[in-house]
Amino acid sequence: MVIGERADNMSETKVQLKGTNALIAIVVLLGFFGYKYYSAQSTLATEGAEVLKFWLSGEYQSHAIDNFKSPDSKVGNPENIEKRALKILDAGKVKFLSLKARGASKDIIVRAEISVNGKPPEIGKVVRYFRMEHTMISGWYVHRETTAFAFYTKFW
């Protein structure tokens, strides 16, 4: 058998959609892809935000813990320890001032304006961009941080 040529004993199946059948098929496809897009966008504000908030809290608290361990600190002072412990807890109080997304379920880029305990974050920027994924089965997942260029050039 030669690739590119059709053997005489192979069957050929043609599907032709005309008129109302074509219209129904288009509506069904648009409905399916529209639902996938809508389900990803609608849960971003709740489920996606919680996943991203957890991810950012870990980053900010990790930085606060590293500062807690710094050798120049007076660890023996109980007041100093309490202040530093509160700073670690406050680093986990992430809030989104704005949350926007572009893309579809497997490749979504999220623009987040972030405040930590009512103030700008000590590390990173106030506006950050993240590449995320949404599936109907496992929900939201943060892949990594990305750039503003990726957000503004993402159309679908």
Look up residue 91 and give its two tokens.
Answer: 């680093």
13 within a domain of the structure (yes/no)? no
52 within a domain of the structure (yes/no)? yes
Q: How many domains does the chain have?
A: 1
Gap between the Cα atoms of 56 and 27, Å rounded: 40
Please give the backbone phi and psi of residue 92, each rounded to the nearest 5 degrees, phi first.
-90, -5
8 within a domain of the structure (yes/no)? no
What is the model's pTM? 0.67
Region 149-154: mean pLDDT is 87
Q: What does the DSSP assignment read for 117-141?
A: TTB--SSS-SEEEEEEEEETTTEEE
pLDDT digits (tens, 9 = 90+) for 61-118: 888 887 766 555 555 566 677 787 888 888 888 999 998 888 876 788 899 999 998 8
95 within a domain of the structure (yes/no)? yes
24 within a domain of the structure (yes/no)? yes
30 within a domain of the structure (yes/no)? yes
12 within a domain of the structure (yes/no)? no
- Could you tell me the residue range of the domain that residue 51 belongs to? 20-152
pLDDT digits (tens, 9 = 90+) for 32-51: 777 766 665 666 778 888 99
50 within a domain of the structure (yes/no)? yes
